[in-house]
Chains A and B, each alone.
Chain A
Amino acid sequence: DGGITQSPKYLFRKEGQNVTLSCEQNLNHDAMYWYRQDPGQGLRLIYYSQIVNDFQKGDIAEGYSVSREKKESFPLTVTSAQKNPTAFYLCASSIRQGGYGYTFGSGTRLTVV
Chain B
Amino acid sequence: GIQVEQSPPDLILQEGANSTLRCNFSDSVNNLQWFHQNPWGQLINLFYIPSGTKQNGRLSATTVATERYSLLYISSSQTTDSGVYFCAVEGGNEKLTFGTGTRLTIIP
Contacts and interface: CB of A to CB of B under 8 A. Distances in A.
Chains A and B come from one and the same complex: yes
Interface of A: 31, 33, 35, 37, 41-45, 48, 50, 58-59, 88, 90, 92, 94, 96, 99-104, 106-107, 109
Nearest to B101: A42
Contact of A90 (B43, B50, B101): B43
Given A99-B48, A101-B33, A101-B48, A109 B41 contact: yes
B42 interface: yes
A44 to B, nearest CB: 8
20 contacts: A31-B94, A35-B98, A37-B41, A42-B100, A42-B101, A45-B96, A48-B95, A58-B95, A59-B1, A88-B41, A90-B41, A90-B43, A99-B31, A99-B50, A101-B31, A101-B33, A104-B35, A104-B45, A106-B41, A109-B41
Interface residues of B, number: 21
